[in-house]
Amino acid sequence: MIIIIKSKPVHFLVDMDNVIGNWERGMEEKWNHVVPELPYYGYSRPYWEIIECYPAEYGARIYSIFEEPGFFRNLQPMPGAIEALHVLREHGDIHFVSAPLSGERRAGCIIEKSEWLEEQVWENASELLFSTSDKTLVIGDYLFDDCPNIKGRYVPKWKHLLFDDGYRYNESNNSPKINWSNYRRILKI
């Protein structure tokens, strides 16, 4: 599917985890230290929610990996992401939309994601962060997100561009598949 951007400015919304920050690699690096008895499925896991892929008794240990202070701040950028953000910025406005952790790690997660944006993307990028677990509250033209089924309180005002980070989910989604290798062709920019 090709999407032709006809008007400017276009308002791009960009998720962070596994879209611009390599959450998967961060998990993989720590997995064997926390749950060595379980295989790490990585991109071959059957469900988007990692917790659904393993027995319930491992839930707390799996959560502890990404709830650890510093996890989000220390993520590596996804290949091609930072360069792509600069290109998108030439064609419109960008806001980052990311769901924070819940509970006691919520504030720390938001701070770490803000710091990551400042360090990895560009100065003052953190001022463009919407931290919400309901992305339908945010208005834009296009949302780059790896979650195949975004649900929320409202009908989204944006078109979901499913960020294809390599997963082969059991879930169906008719959104255009996009990544940092094909985004220019799909968006015609």
Catalytic residues: 15, 17
- What is the biggest distance separating any 2 CA atoms in the chain, rounded to whole angstroms? 52
C-beta neighbour count of 24 within 10 angstroms: 21
The Cα 165–Cα 159 span in angstroms is: 18
Buried b (16+ CB within 10 A) or exposed e, 35-69: beeeebeeeebeebebeebbeeeeeeebbebbbee
Q: Are 40 and 58 spatial neighbours (Cβ–Cβ below 8 Å)?
A: no
